[in-house]
Chain A
Amino acid sequence: AQSVTQLDSQVPVFEEAPVELRCNYSSSVSVYLFWYVQYPNQGLQLLLKYLSGSTLVESINGFEAEFNKSQTSFHLRKPSVHISDTAEYFCAVRGYGGSQGNLIFGKGTKLSVKP
């Protein structure tokens, strides 16, 4: 079974500041890792994913996340945030293979970007 821990429930930052949203996971098998973003009263949108290969993955809107196997982490970063990045961010993990099944979500981190 897998579990996900997002250490910060809320992260307030000023516009144009850098931000890091932390995510740690535990699993007895290899995993796929995901970050989803949820804007108010909307469903989740896939932001980026790590499946294999390069441990650094990037999104089209400037976010990046790095898979660190030794630290079992998949922290999300952005060097300069915008007001429009205000949303809730969920880290998720899924084990390999059909029997390793479901997508397990962290509790989410609410990012608030202030002018």
Chain B
Amino acid sequence: GAVVSQHPSRVICKSGTSVKIECRSLDFQATTMFWYRQFPKKSLMLMATSNEGSKATYEQGVEKDKFLINHASLTLSTLTVTSAHPEDSSFYICSGQIGEYEQYFGPGTRLTVT
């Protein structure tokens, strides 16, 4: 149980275009989902907390107009990277929360901006 999927697993896009990443909780309802970014050889950095039906809460230093998050249902959250640049290339991971403390992570999406 507690499976989270992400789509796509890999995406390559050109600089200046936008990319949408989907995060789905397959067998549970997640009122809260999180979006992380993982740099090579570094830990996960929380980008934002997404609550179903309300605006996402962004961490300091994360541009909310660049990283658009929508949590339209209890099983789906999307992250749209707008006007992507090569420095946005990274591994993006989402998670869904069950209860107060347990997070279950998706398999990640590798974004490469050329």
Chain A residue at minimum C-beta to C-beta distance from B10: A41
User: Chain B binding site: helix, strand, loop or mixed by DSSP?
Assistant: strand
Residue in A41, A97, A98 whose beta carbon sits within 8 Å of that of B108 in the complex = A41
A44 touches B46 (CB 8 A): no
Chain A residue at minimum C-beta to C-beta distance from B42: A107
B107 touches A42 (CB 8 A): yes
B46 touches A45 (CB 8 A): no
B33 interface residue per 8 A CB criterion: no
B49 touches A102 (CB 8 A): yes
| Closest Cβ–Cβ distance, residue B93 to chain A (whole Å) | 5
| Closest Cβ–Cβ distance, residue A4 to chain B (whole Å) | 8
A105 touches B107 (CB 8 A): no
Docked CA distance A43–B42 (Å): 14
Docked CA distance A45–B108 (Å): 12
Total number of residue pairs linking A and B with CB closer than 8 Å:
42
Residue in B43, B101, B105, B110 whose beta carbon sits within 8 Å of that of A51 in the complex = B101
**Chain B residues, Cβ within 8 Å of A78:** none
B6 interface residue per 8 A CB criterion: yes
**Chain A residues, Cβ within 8 Å of B106:** 43
B102 interface residue per 8 A CB criterion: yes
B6 touches A43 (CB 8 A): yes
B105 touches A44 (CB 8 A): yes
A103 touches B46 (CB 8 A): yes
**Chain A residues, Cβ within 8 Å of B44:** 44, 90, 105
Residue in A32, A46, A105 whose beta carbon sits within 8 Å of that of B43 in the complex = A105
12 A-B residue pairings within 8 Å (CB atoms): A42-B108, A43-B105, A43-B106, A43-B108, A44-B44, A44-B93, A44-B105, A46-B104, A49-B102, A103-B46, A105-B44, A107-B43
